[in-house]
Amino acid sequence: MCGIAGFWNARAEDASEHLKTLAKAMGQAIHYRGPDSDDQWVDRDAGIALAHRRLAIVDLSAAGAQPMLSSCGRYVIVYNGEVYNAEDLRQDLGRDAASFRGHSDTEVILEAFSAWGVEATVKKLIGMFAFALWDRQDRRLCLGRDRLGIKPLYWSLQGKILLFGSEVKALHTHPACPKELDRNALASFLRYNYIPGPYSVYQNVQKLQPGHMVSITLQGDGSLAAQQTAYWSMSEIARQGLDQQADFSDEEAISALEEILGDAVERRMIADVPLGALLSGGIDSSAVAALMQAKSTRPIRTFSIGFHEEGYNEAHHAAAIAKHLKTDHTELYVTPEEAQAVIPQIPTYYDEPFSDSSQIPTYLVSKMAREHVTVVLSGDGGDELFGGYNRYFTAAKYGRTLFSQPKALRQLESAAFRALSPNAWTKLSGVLPKKYRPPYFGDKLYKLADVLEKSKEDFYARLVSAWDQPNDVIIGGREYSGPLWDQSLKSHIPDYIDRMMYLDTITYMPDDILTKVDRASMAVSLEARVPLLDHRVVEFAWRLPQSLKIREGQGKWILRQMLYRHVPKNLIERPKMGFGVPIDAWLRGPLRDWAEDLLSPQSLQHFGLLKPELIQKTWRDHLSGHRNWQYHLWHILMLQAWCRQWH
């Protein structure tokens, strides 16, 4: 795992040392992604400079250092990630092991690029990666990103200058980086809590999309031109999977999943440094830990984090599973003060606005794990692939009933739910037994009221939105349309729940979940590997009938059945709990002064992005307890905090 950066200045006449100095500064901006070493490579005549920060994982020797030159001398690469079938590819290349300088995966894929070509090689890779490959012969720069978007890559092309890097701050260091905010992207941020790809916080800086490559070449007029192509398409995988559903019995399907996921886990256990697993106690992380332990000859290391606040703590569940699996388990209980101390660091590591509040515990568990290991496996991806989010089985259970009602009746029901304030409904729910009493009952009823007023096609959009009308909040911006509003999806993916899972996989997963994990783990120089997002597992999941994912109102059916082979059912079965922190109470308590400062009319007017009157009203409603606006406000606070540091 590493950090990469660089530029191509086709009009440059700078000395090599100047090019190298600029590239080194870009790499230094993301030094925590690769604290073990750094180096740069420049081609003065072309105006190319490549920078690399190394976190040594496989082949710790100098033979694995980057930037790396191919044995033929034609190609130079900087690369971030891990390719888990490198040894298979080494054999396929048909070269004697002695002809390789070392045993790094970087060298293998570089030699494969040289032997087979870039696109043919990328299609063979099993892993997570982002790379920049300079072809010295054809004077072509190729940027590539893995299929699911596990590793990030930003790029910006302006006439004769191209910039790229693992994070925005690497580009930001270069004097040619655009600095004009994209207000349309910020409007989208207020809906989702992340900036959706391919956009970024800056105009003319974009994320390379998952499964894509872009080839940059020099034109006759001296400008640079980019051609972007997809080498793997989630859309095609979904369509093919739905058209060619596997004919499995239940037991056959469970065994097939265990085999393919087991291989994905085993491949991700290859490292020349200490390795462990993040264990929350949920289905996904428990499945990964169970398969790791089954394939290990000694206790694996597992790590979990706990909170003293009831309703936010799964550490005791994780401890029980670790005890059953006989792992070497470490847990850390975090005080509110320790969790809140992370907040000022968020704009540094999430260097464009990002407001999934689980970024806090993700950072804390990563920091704790890094004290013991350099690599962890995590369970991210299971919800999107196997129907784990509440919205899926809520839609399966209630969707047809809700939307089969006449619109007038739904509007009456919506009005009835709004007859009392959310706070009053929550107090009334106190008469219910605790296990039937959902948290924030009143807010959930109001969200249901919103859903009832809309069409079935708006159901998903409402569920994934914070600010439902972000254009009314941002000054001078209009949100981008994106896949959420793509009406053609209905013909390609007819079933509504399948469509929800697909949309989550191409939007929420890369731009929220994987961004969160990448930045939190890399902030402490920890490599996080995600076996459930092995592309072979993804393709397998889309060939499964929905009945193997959601059954009897419960998600991840097949993943649960596989896990029961390793862990007793009573340790697993419990209501789903998000990996979060009590933002609502913190904003009314210990974070109130911090929030008041960022949400003051003076602060809002200073940056000129948000409409102060609406934000102030939302803040007053939250403080009074009339509404729980924690997520809406967290979006605003993270945007304001980001502006204070970067704008």
* Residue 317 φ/ψ region, left for φ over 0, alpha for ψ in the -120 to 50 degree band, beta for the rest: alpha
Judge whether 156 and 163 are in contact, CB under 8 Å.
Answer: yes
pLDDT surpassing 90 at residue 27: yes
**216 and 141 Cβ atoms separated by less than 8 Å:** yes
For residues 432-441, average pLDDT: 73
**pLDDT score recorded for residue 541:** 98
What three-state secondary structure class fits 330? strand
Q: What is the pLDDT of residues 232-283, one digit of tens each?
A: 999 999 999 999 999 999 999 999 999 999 999 999 999 999 999 999 999 9
Residues 6+ apart with CB under 8 A from 53: 2, 3, 4, 27, 28, 30, 31, 33, 34, 35, 37, 38
CA 556 to chain centre: 20
Give the separation between CA 586 and CA 589, rounded to whole angstroms.
5
Calculate the CA 267 to chain-centre distance.
21
Cis status, amide bond into 336, omega within 30 of 0: no
Residues in Cβ contact with 261 at an 8 Å cutoff, skipping those fewer than 6 apart: 287, 291, 531, 532, 534, 537, 562
Mean pLDDT of 455-478: 88
| Active-site annotation holds for 2 | yes
Structural contact between residues 248 and 521, judged by C-beta atoms closer than 8 angstroms: no
Q: Please identify which of the residues 2, 142, 177, 643 carries the catalytic annotation.
A: 2
The three-state secondary structure class of 534 is coil
pLDDT tier at 49, thresholds 50, 70, 90: very high
Model pLDDT, residue 100: 87
Q: Which tokens hold the place of 267?
A: 């491949």
> Is the link from the previous residue into 438 a cis peptide, with omega within 30 of 0?
no
Asked if residues 49 and 132 have their Cβ atoms less than 8 Å apart, the reply is no
Strands (E), 195-345: 206-207, 212-218, 224-230, 275-278, 301-307, 328-334
Among 42-51, 94-103, 417-426, 637-646, where is mean pLDDT lowest?
94-103
Distances (CA, A) of 416 to 181, 419, 420, 422, 476: 42, 5, 8, 12, 36
Confidence (pLDDT) at 172: 95
599/593 Cα distance (integer angstroms): 10
Structure confidence by residue, pLDDT tens digits, 558-583: 999 999 999 999 998 876 666 678 88
Q: How far apart are CA 24 and CA 78, in angstroms?
A: 13
Q: Predicted confidence band at 97 (pLDDT cuts at 50, 70, 90)? A: low
Nearest of 526, 128, 557 to residue 382 by alpha carbon: 557
Return the residue matching tokens 């990328």: 122
Q: What is the DSSP letter of 98?
A: G
Sequence-separated contacts (24+) of 115-121 with Cβ below 8 Å? 118/142, 118/144, 118/213, 119/213, 119/229, 119/231
CA distances from 126 to 59, 85, 105, 533, 629 (A): 18, 6, 11, 10, 42
- Average confidence (pLDDT) over 419-441: 78
In this predicted structure, the answer to whether residue 105 has a pLDDT above a threshold of 70 is yes
Q: Which domains does the chain have, with CATH numbers?
A: 2-232 (3.60.20.10), 236-387+508-571 (3.40.50.620), 582-647 (no CATH)
Residue 612, token pair as written in the block: 């102060």
d(CA 419, CA 446): 10
Q: Which of 239-253, 391-405, 455-469, 533-547 has the lowest mean pLDDT?
A: 391-405
pLDDT exceeds 70 at position 29? yes
Q: Using alpha carbons only, give the angle 530, 147, 375 rounded to the nearest 5 degrees.
A: 25
Q: What is the pTM of this model?
A: 0.94
Instruction: Give all strands (DSSP E) within 375-506, no chain letters.
Output: 375-377
Statement: residue 81 has pLDDT above 60: yes
49 touches 40 (CB < 8 A): yes
Q: pLDDT at residue 586 above 80?
A: yes
Structure tokens at 466: 């914070």
User: 109-119, pLDDT tens digit by residue?
Assistant: 999 999 999 99
Q: Among all chains, which residue has been given the structure tokens 């750094």?
A: 38
pLDDT (mean) for 488-494: 91
**pLDDT at residue 80, as a whole number:** 97
What integer is the mean pLDDT of 201-206? 97
Q: Residue 440: name the closest of 280, 555, 585 by CA.
A: 585
Angstrom distance (rounded) from CA 503 to CA 539: 15
Cα(10)–Cα(178) distance, rounded to whole angstroms?
17
433: Cβ–Cβ under 8 A, 6 or more apart, which residues?
none
Distance CA 26, CA 166 (A): 10
Please give the backbone phi and psi of residue 5, each rounded to the nearest 5 degrees, phi first: -165, 165
CB neighbours of residue 498 within 10 Å? 20
- Provide the 10 A C-beta neighbour count for residue 444: 17
- Rounded (10°) CA dihedral 241, 243, 248, 254: 20
- pLDDT tens, 530-556? 999 999 999 999 999 999 999 988 899
Q: Where residue 188 falls among pLDDT bands split at 50, 70, 90?
A: very high
Flag whether pLDDT at 98 surpasses 60. Answer: no
For residue 247, count CB atoms less than 10 angstroms from its CB and return exposed for 0-12, middle for 13-18, buried for 19 or more: exposed
